[in-house]
Chains A and B, each alone.
Chain A
Amino acid sequence: MNGANNQISGVSLVVRGLHKSFGGQKVLNGIDLDVRPGEIFVIMGPSGSGKSVLLKHLIGLEEPDAGEILINGESISTPEIAAKYRMALVFQSGALLNSLTVGENVGLYLTEHRLKTPAEIEKIVAEKLDDVGLKDAVNKMPSELSGGMKKRVAIARALVIEPQMILYDEPTSELDPLSSVVIGNEILELKRRIHVTSLVVSHDRDLAFGVADRIAVIADGKILTVGTPDAVKNFPDPRVHDFLHADFARPK
């Protein structure tokens, strides 16, 4: 299993001119992105700027009005290509199946596609839950977990797919600082160990500057800037600057 992991390498992602409206409301207004294989790419932006909608397009849950999405240079608009690459989305809310236990949730992909025997699945599930520090939760129901624990289970569930690209929607939004660092380190560790491409949507500045190879800032359905953390930090556009440097007005 882990031997095979080392063979996996991340895929590249190219987005060109992505447009999407919901009932007259423009949400994505011409998104262009280039994500390199194996890099950690963070997308930041204010609430409602279309980050979650963008991720849903990348994983095929929404159809674009216009534009294209290429994985390793192949358009995912055909189901064959979309099925060829393994991608996983860690939902903002976790989106665990409430009627299944944590263990069943994590093993669901393997169980439903009959990829392993029950004993093997049990072992993989334990392994992945251990990776996210939730070894003891295997028999709990999702309703018994805190928001942060749900998110970690969702990450474990994504890892089971052995994805070539992981999309994280606000991975640290409900986590305490310590758990946030654990998740951030997990993202870094996955890059190191299996060279997976990671696309992280977050407005957690600590996480973004802690893990990102490159950062994009999005607002009103458009990418404002893309670059290394330092380049983005010093980008002159006031919308980017305000977003990255907003601070409380307490006298120093």
Chain B
Amino acid sequence: MFENVGEIVLLFWRTLLALPQAWRQRQKVFEQFFEIGNASLLMVCVLSFFIGAVIALQTGPILVERSLASAVGGVVGIAIAKELAPVMMAILIAGRIGSAMAAEIGSMRVYQEIDALRTMNINPIHYLVLPRVLAIALALPLLVIFSILVGWFGGAVVADVNQHMEIPFLAFFSDLKNIVELKDVGNGVFKSFCFAIILGVVSCHQGLTTIGGPRGIGRSVTKAVVNSIVLIVIFDYILTRFLLK
């Protein structure tokens, strides 16, 4: 998968150079943006709630046993804001939106629609890649903010109702507020912005380099998702290391 890193970086660079076109393409950015929201909001909601719930379930009883009940809110809050929401949402969106991007651009490539654009002097990077990468770079951080809030809520509900914890709903949040800072949330949101760019560029690159017929499109979709996820996890470590200091 790494033989294409050079091409992917090049596509990223070309997309950056195309940024002045962003205003012109705003219509397409908005279309993509709402499509992403539409396609993923419900899933984000369900997934985030249960992630928060399960983290509270896994960590809460151990902390309560050691009379650290007041740390539960903080542990769950930090884990979700800094790590779980950005990474899980990026993976979810890679599966839901990255795959769709690779499939759509891949079929445009295979059925010569991209050649047709080029004969009309329409740059496929301006027309196809830029709006998608921008839309996802806007949408994913927003989805992650939403996911963090829903995840906290899920954690609080479980901490309240679970008989091994029984931390009142509001106490959970005031504990959380004592430990989690705005900076921590910003940290997670920033990571998700980077992940969004990675998965947007990787998926578009995979689409643009599709060869062969329907089978080639299928291969591209799989590669787009798998490569995005691997790169997201690697960059998660690098970014976390860099943001930690």
Binds B, one of A94-102, A192-200, A226-234: A94-102
Q: Does B115 contact A (CB under 8 A)?
A: yes
Residue pair A95, B112 in contact (C-beta under 8 Å): yes
Q: Which of B109-140 contact A (CB under 8 A)?
A: 111-113, 115-122, 127
Q: Does A41 contact B (CB under 8 A)?
A: no
Also in contact, A88 and B108, with CB within 8 A (given A96-B113, A97-B113, A112-B127): no
Residue pair B122, A109 in contact (C-beta under 8 Å): yes
Residue pair B121, A91 in contact (C-beta under 8 Å): no
Give every chain A residue within 8 A of B127 (Cβ-Cβ).
Answer: 112
Q: Does A49 contact B (CB under 8 A)?
A: no
Also in contact, A88 and B119, with CB within 8 A (given A98-B111, A98-B113): yes
Scan B203-234; emit 1 where CB is below 8 A from any A CB, else 0: 00000000000000000000000000000000
The number of chain B residues touching the other chain, given as a range, is 10 to 19
Q: Separation in Å of the B131 CB from the closest CB of chain A?
A: 12
Give every chain A residue within 8 A of B115 (Cβ-Cβ).
Answer: 56, 61, 91, 95
A112 to B131, CA, bound (A): 14
Residue pair A95, B111 in contact (C-beta under 8 Å): yes
A114 to B116, CA, bound (A): 18
Q: Which residue of A is nearest B24, CB measured?
A: A114
A98 to B107, CA, bound (A): 10
Residue pair B122, A108 in contact (C-beta under 8 Å): yes
Scan A37-72; emit 1 where CB is below 8 A from any B CB, else 0: 000000000000000000010011100000000000
Q: Does A87 contact B (CB under 8 A)?
A: yes
Also in contact, A89 and B119, with CB within 8 A (given A97-B108, A112-B127): yes
Q: Does A246 contact B (CB under 8 A)?
A: no
Residue pair B119, A93 in contact (C-beta under 8 Å): no
Residue pair B111, A112 in contact (C-beta under 8 Å): no
A87 to B116, CA, bound (A): 12
A56 to B127, CA, bound (A): 21
Give every chain A residue within 8 A of B112 (Cβ-Cβ).
Answer: 91, 93, 95
Give every chain B residue within 8 A of A61 (Cβ-Cβ).
Answer: 115, 118-119
Residue pair B116, A112 in contact (C-beta under 8 Å): no
The number of chain A residues touching the other chain, given as a range, is 20 to 34
Q: Does A119 contact B (CB under 8 A)?
A: no
Q: Which of B71-118 contact A (CB under 8 A)?
A: 104, 107-108, 111-113, 115-118
Scan A137-174; emit 1 where CB is below 8 A from any B CB, else 0: 00000000000000000000000010000000000000
Residue pair A59, B120 in contact (C-beta under 8 Å): no
Residue pair B113, A109 in contact (C-beta under 8 Å): no
Q: Does A113 contact B (CB under 8 A)?
A: yes
Residue pair B113, A112 in contact (C-beta under 8 Å): no
Q: Separation in Å of the B138 CB from the closest CB of chain A?
A: 21
Q: Does A178 contact B (CB under 8 A)?
A: no
Q: Separation in Å of the A144 CB from the closest CB of chain B?
A: 16
A109 to B121, CA, bound (A): 8
A93 is contacted by which of B111, B118, B120, B121 (Cβ under 8 Å)?
Answer: B111
B122 is contacted by which of A59, A89, A91, A112 (Cβ under 8 Å)?
Answer: A112
Q: Does A4 contact B (CB under 8 A)?
A: no
Give every chain B residue within 8 A of A96 (Cβ-Cβ).
Answer: 113, 116
Give every chain B residue within 8 A of A59 (Cβ-Cβ).
Answer: 119
Scan A104-143; emit 1 where CB is below 8 A from any B CB, else 0: 0000110011100000000000000000000000000000
Q: Separation in Å of the A204 CB from the closest CB of chain B?
A: 21
A87 to B111, CA, bound (A): 20
Residue of B107, B116, B117, B122 ringed by the most chain A CB atoms within 10 A:
B116
Give every chain A residue within 8 A of B113 (Cβ-Cβ).
Answer: 95-98
Q: A91-B112, A93-B112, A97-B108 are in contact. List 10 more A-B contacts (CB 8 A).
A: A60-B118, A60-B119, A61-B118, A88-B120, A95-B115, A96-B116, A98-B107, A109-B122, A112-B127, A161-B120
15 CB-based A-B contacts, threshold 8 Å: A59-B119, A60-B118, A60-B119, A95-B111, A95-B112, A95-B113, A95-B115, A97-B108, A98-B107, A98-B111, A99-B104, A109-B120, A113-B121, A113-B122, A161-B120
